[in-house]
Amino acid sequence: MADFLDISTLLEGALRIILLLIVFLIVRAVGKNIINRSFSRMKEQKNMQPGRVQTLNKLSVSVFSYVLIFIFFTILIGIFGLEIAPLIAGAGVVGLAIGFGAQGLVSDVVTGFFILLEKQIDVEDYVSAAGVGGVVEEVGLRTTQIRGFDGTLHFIPNRNISNVDNHSRGNMRAMIDIGISYDDNIDEAVRVLQDVCDQLAAEEPAIKEGPDVLGVQGIGESDVVIRILGKTENMEQWGIERKLRKACKEALDKNGIDIPYPHQVYVDKRQEQ
Amino acid sequence: MADFLDISTLLEGALRIILLLIVFLIVRAVGKNIINRSFSRMKEQKNMQPGRVQTLNKLSVSVFSYVLIFIFFTILIGIFGLEIAPLIAGAGVVGLAIGFGAQGLVSDVVTGFFILLEKQIDVEDYVSAAGVGGVVEEVGLRTTQIRGFDGTLHFIPNRNISNVDNHSRGNMRAMIDIGISYDDNIDEAVRVLQDVCDQLAAEEPAIKEGPDVLGVQGIGESDVVIRILGKTENMEQWGIERKLRKACKEALDKNGIDIPYPHQVYVDKRQEQ
Amino acid sequence: MADFLDISTLLEGALRIILLLIVFLIVRAVGKNIINRSFSRMKEQKNMQPGRVQTLNKLSVSVFSYVLIFIFFTILIGIFGLEIAPLIAGAGVVGLAIGFGAQGLVSDVVTGFFILLEKQIDVEDYVSAAGVGGVVEEVGLRTTQIRGFDGTLHFIPNRNISNVDNHSRGNMRAMIDIGISYDDNIDEAVRVLQDVCDQLAAEEPAIKEGPDVLGVQGIGESDVVIRILGKTENMEQWGIERKLRKACKEALDKNGIDIPYPHQVYVDKRQEQ
Amino acid sequence: MADFLDISTLLEGALRIILLLIVFLIVRAVGKNIINRSFSRMKEQKNMQPGRVQTLNKLSVSVFSYVLIFIFFTILIGIFGLEIAPLIAGAGVVGLAIGFGAQGLVSDVVTGFFILLEKQIDVEDYVSAAGVGGVVEEVGLRTTQIRGFDGTLHFIPNRNISNVDNHSRGNMRAMIDIGISYDDNIDEAVRVLQDVCDQLAAEEPAIKEGPDVLGVQGIGESDVVIRILGKTENMEQWGIERKLRKACKEALDKNGIDIPYPHQVYVDKRQEQ
Amino acid sequence: MADFLDISTLLEGALRIILLLIVFLIVRAVGKNIINRSFSRMKEQKNMQPGRVQTLNKLSVSVFSYVLIFIFFTILIGIFGLEIAPLIAGAGVVGLAIGFGAQGLVSDVVTGFFILLEKQIDVEDYVSAAGVGGVVEEVGLRTTQIRGFDGTLHFIPNRNISNVDNHSRGNMRAMIDIGISYDDNIDEAVRVLQDVCDQLAAEEPAIKEGPDVLGVQGIGESDVVIRILGKTENMEQWGIERKLRKACKEALDKNGIDIPYPHQVYVDKRQEQ
Amino acid sequence: MADFLDISTLLEGALRIILLLIVFLIVRAVGKNIINRSFSRMKEQKNMQPGRVQTLNKLSVSVFSYVLIFIFFTILIGIFGLEIAPLIAGAGVVGLAIGFGAQGLVSDVVTGFFILLEKQIDVEDYVSAAGVGGVVEEVGLRTTQIRGFDGTLHFIPNRNISNVDNHSRGNMRAMIDIGISYDDNIDEAVRVLQDVCDQLAAEEPAIKEGPDVLGVQGIGESDVVIRILGKTENMEQWGIERKLRKACKEALDKNGIDIPYPHQVYVDKRQEQ
Amino acid sequence: MADFLDISTLLEGALRIILLLIVFLIVRAVGKNIINRSFSRMKEQKNMQPGRVQTLNKLSVSVFSYVLIFIFFTILIGIFGLEIAPLIAGAGVVGLAIGFGAQGLVSDVVTGFFILLEKQIDVEDYVSAAGVGGVVEEVGLRTTQIRGFDGTLHFIPNRNISNVDNHSRGNMRAMIDIGISYDDNIDEAVRVLQDVCDQLAAEEPAIKEGPDVLGVQGIGESDVVIRILGKTENMEQWGIERKLRKACKEALDKNGIDIPYPHQVYVDKRQEQ
């Protein structure tokens, strides 16, 4: 460094800068190209929405560019012969502080990237994630917005989304449990309930499978529990379950089969002794 | 370093400092300019409040300036020929201790930045966050102040805010469950309740949708549960629910339909044996 | 290092030390001045108590001085030509061990600093924090002392304080729920209770808003729940609630309106079969 | 570095690059070969599905290649005589930030790798993992998709999968508890229930072991609990349990053995005193 | 390093070692002195027990000495011209492993230091900490020993102590809730109970404040709850509460005021229909 | 580095490589030998199964070899005069990312190593670990497979295993609690139950100690609870408990001692007033 | 490094190695001596078991030796003129991976060391730790084995042991709560119970203090709860409590004092209206 003012040093420096610039531009062009092409290929193969692909593409190019620019500048400063060590120290300390503080941000973006890429969540899906359930309003790189059924708008940082329970990907189950009394005939109750199921299945096009009476699911404290199971179109399960409950209740009433109240046997102390 | 007192070295040092100063000033001016312009563009595009944009703008400029000054000084010291290594060591140890201890602070500011930027919370919103619910009094970069409904003022460090449940972003649901007895006719009860709903919807302008009787939501131990669902203006849901409850109770009474008490069947031991 | 005993080296070293000392003294004076002035400006603007400002000011100056001294000494040792590398290694290992172990301490002080600065807690406030509720006896940089209502003195390291619920910042809510029987007329009960509220509001100057009967808050298993809501002066809410409860109970009794016991319907098995 | 433009330096650089390239190509070829061969050997030995082995093989080769390319480029830049220190600093800071943020991603892939390698989960298996139960639809390197029994599609990042409970690896237990009254003869009840078990075992080919009556599992508040245990074909356990419950209930009814309701002894206050 | 055997090098080394030794001794003496003096000053100012101050003083001197010796030796080795880098590497790896493993130890001592310094816990105090309650038997730098009321001796590593609830720092609250029946006159019951309180306050010198009847604390399912509150000498609260309970029960009995059993309203099904 | 093509440099390089190779081979041979011998010694001393020792031995040798090879190659590259710094940087970043992501894997193997070494778990043992109970099917270095009693196969990563509860290491306790009515004579009930215990102990060889009647374990709401305690052969405890329950129930019936139902005292409102 | 084959370099290397060896041997001997002596002094002072001291002594010497050997070898390699940087890199990466993975191991040993040193746990003690209770069978450096009362052998890694609850360090409390009816005279009941206590205290030598009747501990829904408290020899508390319960029950029966069943007041709907 003693010969800082030497011409050959200057020449060398200039040469290096030019070399660096060329390398930088080439790497940048090549990198962008590779990213763009891989995303356009992905779009064709996986049949993804153009908007979603574009978001991912733009993010990838941004990250790539920022990293490149950061490297470029630090190398540049090194070429000017300035001591690079302080920069390392400074960057190290700042980086550490930020690294710890902002890891959540990086974590958000990484998770968001994969939620978009793997199509785990679509806008308008009914999902449960991060302890919150509702209809998705927006999937961003940092936050996902879910509209709860009570009208609340939930902002969820993507890092909080670990398991995604997507309730909008296929037929849903309709299931009800009906309790009959110990004294009623199980076979007859099953027959009556199966008739109800068959009739409803015939009336409701939203029903895709069953519903069928499975049998004695449990013996409760005061009742014999009978389970009915079926499959319905997505989001129709609650409506079908409501209709099934009403129909079963009315059919059991008509056939004189009891849905029993809790029972208790009373033992009178005076007679026991 | 042997020729510390040499003139050429001094000259070289002076040259470097001047060079450094110039680079520093240029970078600072350019950086500030870029930040300011991107924020003023954001203000126009996203239709944000000037106060909020200014807070974010000032924060960005501050962070940028402090980092620059830090780098500037460490390079400067390096130029004076002083051993820079101890500084690295010192900064490293101090940085580590602080990095661990103060990461919460950085985390607060980063989260606060995004809460402001993404407009997740506005002053006067009714939100739930960090296990606390109430009306927002202030959104700062480090803490958010929420006034609970019982009058308590909650200070929440922003890092504690993960999910934000904003209850002030659109119409809210009004929902009540009414239990009728096993012996009552379901169809009639539904008709009576729907009448109540229709009348209330006509009277109350705060009701935006429904309310409608959905059907048999469940068969309880002693009652058939019927659910009523509607949408109201924001913050009016509780009032509407209260009116709906009163109206339903009175209508059922008038039509001789029971809201049943818990039932129990008594079996007398003496007769059983 | 071969020419350690050379005069020019010694001279150079002496020069450097003097230079370092001057820089050190200037930086220290300037830094202290800046800190002092910013705190005295803060005191004027934010109308803070002099004691609190002084604590924060002293802490800031201390931290600043210790960091400066640390840097000064490590640079000094470097100038004496001693190998600085072992120091780095030593400091690194010790620093790591301490950094992990003592991060809690740093975290305490950082949190304490902001609790004081943002006036989240004042002595004599009734607050809930870190799972503990009571009246604040002392707010320190490392620990906060809270006197629980049962007489216990709670020492809370500041790092444990995340959300601060300050119950001494404004009027508080007085709220009671009263259950009336299914058979009572809701309108009449509301009228009676509202009369009680109005009378109490006239008598008690501690009441700031209401209290008002909101309506039917819920339909319980055996009662219709009616909610009454008001605002009182801080710390008067419990007394007002007690008076409200007594007055409501007596008014309902006088008007022949029942606060119902739990009900149960008895079905006799012998007659059913 | 003074003789940057020297021919011998250039020559040396060229020689190094060539040497590096050769080493790089050899290492890459050898490494790929070793990976491929070890996987094909594993395929033969462990009798794994070709698709699964191919996924693992491709992943291993990719990781190996990326690491190699990364090393190659950084060495290359070092040969060009450019200061490598800034790169270290840059990579360090970026790496730290990413390392913290993206550790979840690495963790996903590592866990996914072992789930595939150890055949913990197969598509079509009924498993419980990460608090979610259902039938596996896809096992990927980053996420596993499980179809819940209610129709929900669960996306589970592999890192969330710690314990895997695989319910599709062998015969399953069918177990029911039946309560008889205190007054019934235990031996007779056991005999009746064992008859039911033997008959069902004869009728149902899905039953693999038992079912057998174990004895008095507990003495409840109002009943003596008798446990029946058997083994069935995988996924048939629920059906068998339902049939067992129905058969036991009917057999006990036929033999006049009570499944008792909760009992309570009533003491009349007036007589006690 | 080529001239390792040179005399001037040896001389230089010797000189450095002597210099180092002198610096070391001076720093050690000065440091010890400063520590000792600040502790003796603290003893006078804060009126602390000599034993406690001595423990803290000895700990501070030990830590100071060990750090100094560590630095001294590593510098020494550096002077002997041995490569110091491996030491750094070795210490780094070992330090990392230990740093992670033993951070608990450092954390124990740091917490213990502050528990002693801030007098949060004294031997013989009744405290709750780390989920354990009892009387303190020993407060050490690493562990605190608490004797539970059931005779168990709890060893608590200081790091587990976050909040300290010290129940031996001032008067304690005595509080009892008494339920009276719906039919009793509230004013009369309050008068009777207040008489009891006044009489007990006159008899018991351990009572420091009250006890006073606060009013209607709640309206239960079957009773009106009345709260009595007072202050007693430390550790006397339980005895006073027991006496208060007995006196209240007897006074209410004497005045014919009921402490009600749970009530239930029986509705007979036959008459309702 | 200027004299890269110099012969003496080449010669020196060659010499170094040979030296390195020799050191490498010696260290490897010596290390392997030491590991093998210590394991064969352990086998003899601790009487361990050969299979288990072999697994541990092979793992130890593998880890040792991989570390050695890694060191060898990095030194080799350093000898070739290639800049080693980039490698450090590269390895550092990759290592960090992997270190965070794959620490679970290392943790699995370390835990697995000690589970095998300390014989905490044997195949066929009935254990509870990581919230899962069942019979161990396989103990591997990374995962342990436990067959739950319901037939589920649990794959548990060893890192999840903290406490191991091994239920197959010695005799097990058989314990039952029997409630008798308040009116029965305690001494007589104890005598009857002790007779049952003695008779069963005589009949059942699986009983190793007791069973004995301990006395009045508690006074319940409606019964006096008497505890019986004994020791049985491993895995026989449930069978013995079942037999004990049946025998006690029958003996109490024969001697006219009641196992009481829950009691309740009925107070009639009309007479009270 | 150009003069690698130079004789003076070799000589210098040899000299350094010898110097290093001497330093190494001296440090090792001195260190061992210091450790041994401090442990033998501790044995005398603290009256510890020789076996326990030996375990701690051996561990300390092992750790000291391994660290010394590690340092010796890395310095040695450095002297041979081999590039030490790769070693640093290698050790760093490996160390990081292991450091994270094996920190549990270090943590086990550190905790185990202090459990032994502070005599928190002795073999045969009845302790609760890490959520497990039972009698200690073995205290090792890595795991502690506790035999649960049900016969299970618990292996607990020492790191899981935070609070140790040692139930074998002094007399234990015997405490029972007895409920008497609202109608019984409290003073008489207390007198009867105190008589029982005094008699038992006279009969049982295992009772060390009391037992005494404390007074009215609570007013339950249907009873007045009276508490009796005493101290017994270690491990005798359960037996004494059982005897106390039996004696109290029988004494109350003899004196006509009721242990009341739950009470309920019945309000008949027909009469109310």
Q: Which chains touch D (3 or more CB pairs under 8 A)?
A: A, B, F, G
**Nearest-neighbour CA in chain E from F21: distance (Å):** 21
Please answer yes or no on whether G216 and E246 come within 8 Å at the CB atom: yes
d(CA D74, CA D84): 8
G231 near G171, Cβ under 8 Å? yes
Give the nearest chain A residue to F265 (CA atoms): A269
pLDDT band at B16; cut points 50, 70, 90: confident
**Distances, alpha carbon A195 to alpha carbons A227, A237, A250, D141, in Å:** 14, 19, 12, 47
Q: Which of F180, F221, F273 is the best substitution to test chain G (most G C-beta atoms within 10 A)?
A: F221
C35 near C64, Cβ under 8 Å? yes
d(CA F202, CA F225): 25
pLDDT band at F81; cut points 50, 70, 90: low
Q: pLDDT by residue (tens digit) across F217-272?
A: 998 888 899 999 999 999 999 999 999 999 999 999 999 898 888 888 888 765 44
Q: Which chains touch F (3 or more CB pairs under 8 A)?
A: A, D, E, G
Please answer yes or no on whether C259 and E216 come within 8 Å at the CB atom: no
Q: Which residues of E have a CB under 8 Å from any CB of B?
A: 267, 269, 273
Give the nearest chain C residue to G269 (CA atoms): C263
Percent of chain A at pLDDT > 70 equals 80
Closest C-alpha among A193, A199, A198, A189 to residue A176? A193
d(CA F70, CA A92): 27
Q: Give F36-44's long-range contacts (Cβ < 8 A, gap of 24+).
A: F36/F61
CA angle A13, A15, A19 (to 5 degrees): 115
Q: pLDDT by residue (tens digit) across E48-81?
A: 667 777 777 887 887 778 777 767 776 676 666 5
Which one has a higher pLDDT value, F76 or B266?
Answer: B266
Render chain G in DSSP notation, one character per residue.
-TTTT-HHHHHHHHHHHHHHHHHHHHHHHHHHHHHHHHHHHHHHHHT--HHHHHHHHHHHHHHHHHHHHHHHHHHHHHHTT---HHHHHHHHHHHHHHHHHHHHHHHHHHHHHHHHHTT---TT-EEEETTEEEEEEEE-SSEEEEE-TTSPEEEEEGGG--SEEETTSS-EEEEEEEEEETTS-HHHHHHHHHHHHHHHHHH-TTEEEEEEEEEEEEE-SSEEEEEEEEEESTT-HHHHHHHHHHHHHHHHHHTT---PPPEEEEEEHHHH-
Q: What is the pLDDT of residue B91?
A: 55
Average pLDDT, chain B: 82
Q: What is the pLDDT of residue G99?
A: 57
Q: Which of B121, B162, B238 is the best substitution to test chain A (most A C-beta atoms within 10 A)?
A: B162
d(CA G147, CA G135): 5
Is the per-residue pLDDT at A186 higher than 60?
Answer: yes
Four-point Cα dihedral E239, E240, E244, E245, nearest 10:
-30
Q: What is the pLDDT of residue G98?
A: 58
Structural domains in chain D plus CATH codes: 8-115 (1.10.287.1260), 125-166 (2.30.30.60), 172-255 (3.30.70.100)
Q: What is the pLDDT of residue E45?
A: 74
d(CA D127, CA D147): 10
3-state secondary structure of D169: coil
Q: pLDDT by residue (tens digit) across G170-184?
A: 899 999 999 998 888
Segment F59-63 mean pLDDT: 79
3-state secondary structure of E164: strand
- The strand pair at F143-147 and G172-181 is best described as unpaired
pLDDT band at B230; cut points 50, 70, 90: very high
**Distances, alpha carbon F28 to alpha carbons E146, F25, F191, G89, in Å:** 53, 5, 73, 20
φ, ψ at F114 (rounded to 5°): -75, -30
Q: What is the pLDDT of residue F2?
A: 42
Query: Mind listing the pLDDT tens digit of every residue in chain D (273 residues)?
Result: 444 456 666 677 778 778 888 888 888 888 888 888 888 887 777 666 777 777 778 878 877 787 777 667 766 766 655 555 555 555 555 555 555 556 677 788 888 888 888 888 888 899 999 889 999 998 888 899 999 999 999 999 998 898 999 999 989 999 999 999 888 899 999 999 999 999 999 998 999 987 999 999 998 888 899 999 999 999 999 999 999 999 999 999 999 898 888 888 888 765 443
d(CA E250, CA E243): 11
Give the nearest chain F residue to E264 (CA atoms): F269
Which residue has 């016969």 as its token pair? G151
φ, ψ at A151 (rounded to 5°): 100, -15
Q: pLDDT by residue (tens digit) across G126-172?
A: 999 988 999 999 888 889 999 999 999 999 999 889 899 999 998 99
Residue in C98, C149, C259 nearest the CB of E219: C259
Closest C-alpha among G215, G207, G222, G175 to residue G191? G215
Side chain identity at G19, as an amino acid letter? L
**Distances, alpha carbon B214 to alpha carbons B218, C68, E51, E123, in Å:** 11, 72, 75, 66
What ipTM did this prediction achieve?
0.79
Other CB atoms within 10 Å distance of the CB of residue G183: 13
* F183 vs A contacts (CB less than 8 Å): 273
Which one has a higher pLDDT value, D273 or C251?
Answer: C251
Please answer yes or no on whether G75 and E83 come within 8 Å at the CB atom: yes
Give the nearest chain E residue to G164 (CA atoms): E155
Q: Which chains touch B (3 or more CB pairs under 8 A)?
A: A, C, D, E
Write the burial class of residue B18 (CB in 10 Å: 0-12 exposed, 13-18 middle, 19+ buried): exposed
Other CB atoms within 10 Å distance of the CB of residue A4: 17
Percent of chain G at pLDDT > 70 equals 80
Interface contacts (A, B; CB < 8 Å):
194
**Nearest-neighbour CA in chain D from B44: distance (Å):** 32
Q: Please state whether the peptide bond connecting residue F211 to the residue before it is cis, i.e. omega within 30 degrees of 0.
A: yes
For residue F73 the two structure tokens come to 């190659």
Residue in G78, G120, G267 nearest the CB of E263: G267
pLDDT band at C88; cut points 50, 70, 90: low
Which one has a higher pLDDT value, A8 or A173?
Answer: A173
For residue A118 the two structure tokens come to 């793997």
Render chain C in DSSP notation, one character per residue.
-TTTT-HHHHHHHHHHHHHHHHHHHHHHHHHHHHHHHHHHHHHHHHT--HHHHHHHHHHHHHHHHHHHHHHHHHHHHHHTT---HHHHHHHHHHHHHHHHHHHHHHHHHHHHHHHHHTT---TT-EEEETTEEEEEEEE-SSEEEEE-TTSPEEEEEGGG--SEEES-SS-EEEEEEEEE-TTS-HHHHHHHHHHHHHHHHHH-TTEEEEEEEEEEEEE-SS-EEEEEEEEESTT-HHHHHHHHHHHHHHHHHHTT---PPPEEEEEEHHHH-
Is the per-residue pLDDT at F27 higher than 60?
Answer: yes
Closest C-alpha among D142, D145, D165, D169 to residue D155? D145
Exposure of B255 in the CB half-sphere (CA atoms within 13 A): 21
C180 near C260, Cβ under 8 Å? yes
Interface contacts (A, D; CB < 8 Å):
194
d(CA G245, CA G261): 17
d(CA E49, CA B55): 52
Give the nearest chain A residue to C267 (CA atoms): A261
For residue B204 the two structure tokens come to 């109350």
- The strand pair at B153-157 and C164-166 is best described as antiparallel
d(CA F205, CA F198): 12
CA angle G228, G234, G236 (to 5 degrees): 60
φ, ψ at E31 (rounded to 5°): -60, -50
pLDDT band at A273; cut points 50, 70, 90: very low
φ, ψ at E222 (rounded to 5°): -135, 5
Is the per-residue pLDDT at F118 higher than 70?
Answer: yes
**Distances, alpha carbon A233 to alpha carbons A200, B249, D150, in Å:** 14, 35, 12
Interface contacts (D, F; CB < 8 Å):
198
d(CA G62, CA G59): 5
d(CA B109, CA B104): 9
Q: What is the pLDDT of residue B190?
A: 93
E210 near E147, Cβ under 8 Å? no
* A269 vs F contacts (CB less than 8 Å): 263
Q: Which chains touch A (3 or more CB pairs under 8 A)?
A: B, C, D, F
d(CA B127, CA B129): 6
Please answer yes or no on whether B105 and A102 come within 8 Å at the CB atom: no
Q: pLDDT by residue (tens digit) across G226-264?
A: 999 999 999 999 999 999 999 999 999 999 898 888 888
Percent of chain B at pLDDT > 70 equals 81
Is the per-residue pLDDT at G119 higher than 60?
Answer: yes
**Nearest-neighbour CA in chain G from C16: distance (Å):** 32
Please answer yes or no on whether B218 and A245 come within 8 Å at the CB atom: yes
Furthest-apart CA atoms within chain A: distance in Å? 120
Beta bridge partners of A215: A227
Which one has a higher pLDDT value, C104 or A197?
Answer: A197
Contacts of G216 (CB under 8 A, 6+ apart): E242, E245, E246, E249, G186, G224, G225, G226
Segment C218-245 mean pLDDT: 91
Give the nearest chain A residue to F258 (CA atoms): A272
pLDDT band at A38; cut points 50, 70, 90: confident
For residue G234 the two structure tokens come to 């270690």
**Nearest-neighbour CA in chain A from B77: distance (Å):** 9
Q: Which of A74, A213, A226, A232 is the best substitution to test chain D (most D C-beta atoms within 10 A)?
A: A74
d(CA D165, CA D172): 13
CA angle C257, C258, C260 (to 5 degrees): 160
Q: Which residues of A have a CB under 8 Å from any CB of C?
A: 183, 261, 263
3-state secondary structure of D154: strand
Is the per-residue pLDDT at E3 higher than 50?
Answer: no
